Structure 1
Amino acid sequence: MNIFTAYISIISIVLYSGCAQYEAPKPDKKKEISILNQKVKELDANDKKLIYRSIQNDINRYSKEADKAYSRGYNNDALIAYKLVNFYEGYHSVPLQKIEKIKKNINYKSRVHYKRALKQYMVNNKKALYELNIVMMNNPNYKYSSELFDKLHENRDIKIYVNSIKSSLQMQMLNSDGKIKSLKSIELTLKELLAYDYKNILAAKAEEVLQKHMDIIAENNLLKYKRESIKIAKQAFLEKEYVKSIEYAQKVIAIDAKCMEASNILKLAKQESKIELDNLIKSGICYYDDRKLDEAMNNFQSALKIDPYSNASLIYSKKIHRQLKTIKSLQ
């Protein structure tokens, strides 16, 4: 069978089964699984390998979407995405224990929050909508949650309230200067909107705006950190604090491996630290031979700060420590 025909068929079945709960009555799961298994059996090993390679990006995308949904309490979306990851991977990349845990959360939260919604339905529409919103995040097909959710959104007072949040969010996005304070305001308003309308289109746009600004802030902070670290590395080198200079140069290289300035500082600091290390060990040995144990110990301890694995420094330090201990016991 044509590999791409099989590929399209399989994806269509999986995606349909994942989205059906939003748009259509429950499909016949046994029939779909049977069709899916048949399609998979018709593929040979090479076909499966080619398909896997062609959808690797999809696997990564579904995995990120699932993690994000799970962390935000969107258990239904997380479950669908995790199942897709496992399907495409061909094994339980997402452990079955985690899948079962999500299912239990879905069942529990749907049941509990649906009951709370019903209690509030004739008393407080706003609280009822809040509870139903949680149900929808977990299982949009739970009993009459979808119908009640839509009905409440048609309520005049609810419409006014939700529209006021949306208007506030739009203004905040429009007037945002990209600073932390304004982004926090957007984040709080966004959170309020999602508490009553979990799939709001404006909320998705606001999340994009937030992510864009947060990426810019993160990049600027990284550049600032890089500049400050280079400055410290340079100053430490001039003050002959080579260990400190090496430490900060390495911090810069960890975030920017191509930074020539940090690489040059690191190279020079290592060269100078080696010279200093040799001098400290030589001086330490001379002090030791002259029975100046305290001065010798200071030199070897300084050498160990440059190279904690220096054999000569370690050996002499232990010897001096034992001798000083013996001298002290005899006094």
Structure 2
Amino acid sequence: MTILVTGGAGFIGSNFVLDWLRQSDEPVVNLDALTYAGNPENLASLDGDARHTFVKGDICDRALVDQLLITHQPRAIVHFAAESHVDRSISGPGAFMRTNVDGTFTLLEAARAYWGALDGEAKAGFRFHHVSTDEVYGSLKPTDPPFAETNPYEPNSPYSASKAASDHLVRSWHHTYGLPVVTTNCSNNYGPYHFPEKLIPLMIVNALAGKPLPVYGDGQQIRDWLYVTDHCSGIRAVLAGGKLGETYNIGGWNEQANIDIVKIVCKLLDGMRPDPAGPYERLITYVKDRPGHDRRYAIDARKIERELGWRPAETFETGIRKTVQWYLDNPEWVARVQSGAYRDWISQQYTAAA
């Protein structure tokens, strides 16, 4: 038995692969194009581990995907691969359409052909698990209830629109062709190996460097924060027991305003790595808001709890402390990501094979 993971060198994908192999001896075939946020150093602890097969490649490459399915005969595809940064989608939406829409289409067609050729228990047990985001639902007002799986889609950025499109593709491949799919929509993840352009790692690394802590607008944008290993356990639960064709929201029950997140990180750093120059909050700098910035996201995760018994293990207080500690303990990883040195390693390692 094997699973195929796409995007398994990115932040959530690499955490999932590491978590999967801590929980199980079932092998993982890991397909990642190693774009800017794909970092094989996240998976360094698996070097020499026969359970992990890494393949540098593009999910839009149908021939490669077909070859991997035929060679490894996975019982499931867990599809993380996506362009995911809203700011980047605003400045360059084309890459998001290609990876998130065309890439998902390519995977679905390859999976449909592969699944159609299976028989017996292998066919009955196959799953295509699509990992998506709460941003497809749009923005909530302060008094609105959290997003449920039945909320209409109202994406407001090129990123969220591309993910909404991929969700619709996955749904339609189930209803039209019978492909056995499940979809999960998660809230904002945080934790180890998070690329330091996203809010929490950016605040940590900038604070430690004495740089400004940029906060969009008034900082009152609210998000529901989910520790990444809790997300991984939720995906495992849905992959194992989710109903075919269904969507499950995975959230942390942790609504926090961005400015409060920044202040929490500052206070933790004041205690864990005090700055002689003074409290880290002195570095907070308000900057012009980004276009179309959604005001509030929140996930109603009662369905996955009710049907599959899943709840997050971490509170925000425990998860954010673990996250800050990880960045304090791994300055070399941060430095290599910030300098781009990890990209040099990728070039040396994979150019000949590409």
Larger relative contact order (Cα-Cα within 8 Å, sequence gap ≥ 6): 2
> More helix by proportion, 1 or 2?
1
> More strand by proportion, 1 or 2?
2
Instruction: Tell me if both proteins adopt one fold, taking TM over 0.5 as the criterion.
Output: no
TM-score for both structures, normalised by structure 2: 0.21
TM-score for both structures, normalised by structure 1: 0.22
Task: Mark the structure with the bigger radius of gyration.
Answer: 1
